[in-house]
Amino acid sequence: MQVADTSFLYALFSKSDVFHGNARKGAASADAILVPNEIYSETISLIQYRRGFGSARDAGTWLRSQRKIQILGSSPSLLDQTWGIYRSARGRLSYPDAVVLAWCYERRASPLAFDQVILRRAKKRPSGDRERS
């Protein structure tokens, strides 16, 4: 399983995005993709802002219809872990990025992202280490 970030999802739907081809390949090759609800919301909002309601509606409909994609909400413990990651980053990580990392750490999954901050932090995470809130 992999956890999707907005950088990946937006590239998947934007043919003009430099990572569009990579996103399509990543989506096709993934066995299962988890989309945190916060990332789903951020992606649909970004698409609506940049491309309009119709494009956002179509992207949301497509994501919701894919069998290998799960859109899930955070548990209280996952929210606590996200907050700890966000606070410990001291401004070097956005809250949505912390959401993706918390899901990756909890599920021992890798991120589907083009955001280098997420990719670097996901690699650095020692097993068994937990962020504190």
Find the CATH number of the domain harbouring 58.
3.40.50.1010
Model confidence pLDDT, tens digit, residues 37-52? 999 999 999 999 999 9
Residue located via tokens 């494009």:
55
- Does residue 107 sit within a domain? yes
Is residue 133 assigned to a domain? no
Phi/psi for 2 (5° steps) reads -125, 155
Predicted confidence (pLDDT) at residue 124 exceeds the cutoff of 70 = yes
Q: How many domains does the chain have?
A: 1
- Give CA separation, 106 vs 4, 8, 13, 84, 109, in Å: 14, 20, 27, 13, 8
| pTM summary value | 0.89
Q: What distance lies between CA 130 and its chain's CA centroid? A: 20
Provide φ and ψ at 91, rounded to 5°: 90, -5
Residue 110 maps to a domain: yes
What residue type is 87 in one-letter code?
Answer: R
